[in-house]
Amino acid sequence: MSRIVVVTSGKGGVGKTTTSAAFATGLAMRGYKTAVIDFDVGLRNLDLIMGCERRVVYDFVNVINNEASLNQALIRDKHVENLHILPASQTRDKDALTPEGVGRVMDDLHELGFDFIVCDSPAGIERGAHMAMYYADDAIVVTNPEVSSVRDSDRILGLLQSKTHRAERGESVREHLLITRYSPARVQAGEMLAMEDILEILAVPLIGVIPESQSVLQASNSGAPVILDKVSDAGQAYDDFVRRFLGETVPHRFLEVEKKGFFKKLFG
């Protein structure tokens, strides 16, 4: 079976799409046939981050409504092999996503031999978020180091264990916590929650900590997922996260305030 992974958070703007793009790219770079689906009906974003917005012809809702075949709608990624993007619809109403329709697309992707299906969830706890998590085997819960984000992630964790196909069958969705936009300096200054506090509140296994980084904005402006930027801290942190997801033991990095060298102190 294809392994279905939802990237979800509850709160908006915490880095779900950034993470979905990096994660799917990282899996594909390691040879896994991967599809990444944008569930954010009406607010399509993933195609921009992946740099394929000009090649969108058909979308997820077209496929669900049988207006296009899955093969017609899947966009081949231009950066790495084995990676395909299924963009969200711009205009359709949110009720277009149904459990049956989404289930059929998942089955078809499985038939096409995909190893991983990454579902980029919209914010909130409404239909779109529910549909994105419904068939998931694993969930990457994206949290920023602030109280409201942690609270929303907690709600999402509750929904994952009650409102998913797995939960309905008495199984559970594997939970992984990914802390993004982590700024050790701001944690030290007491402006943000520390990693330990977040873990204490959520009690979910930590799969990665992505630092707050300029490189993320640069990457999204150039339409290339940040994981491709091998020198950036965020790119490296995302790469570590993918390796941990695939079972490797990789120590966490970028958790401490960087000690500035003499030149850095002088020139920033």
Contact residues toward ligand ATP (CB under 6 A) are 9, 12-18, 40, 45, 122-123, 180-181, 210, 212-213, 216-217, 220, 234
155 makes contact with other proteins (CB under 8 A) = yes
Q: Which does 15 bind (CB under 5 to 8 A by kind): ligand ATP, Mg ion, other proteins, none?
A: ligand ATP
Q: How many CB atoms lie within 10 A of CB 178?
A: 28
17 makes contact with Mg ion (CB under 5 A) = yes
- As measured in angstroms, the least distance from the Cβ of 204 to other proteins is 9
What single-letter DSSP state applies at residue 95?
Answer: G
99-111 helix and 127-134 helix, angle to the nearest 10 degrees: 30
Residue 141, φ and ψ in degrees, nearest 5: -95, 110
Residue 243, φ and ψ in degrees, nearest 5: -65, -40
- As measured in angstroms, the least distance from the Cβ of 156 to other proteins is 8
Structure tokens at 21: 């793009």
- As measured in angstroms, the least distance from the Cβ of 103 to Mg ion is 22
Q: Which does 216 bind (CB under 5 to 8 A by kind): Mg ion, other proteins, ligand ATP, none?
A: ligand ATP
121 makes contact with Mg ion (CB under 5 A) = no
How would you label 95-104 residue by residue, b for 16+ Cβ within 10 Å and e otherwise?
ebbeeebbee
C-alpha 188, offset from chain centre: 27
Binding mask 87-126 for other proteins (x = CB under 8 A): --------------------------------------xx
* Alpha-carbon span 136 to 174, nearest angstrom: 9
Binding site for other proteins (CB under 8 A): 125-126, 151, 154-155, 157-159, 161-162, 172, 201, 203
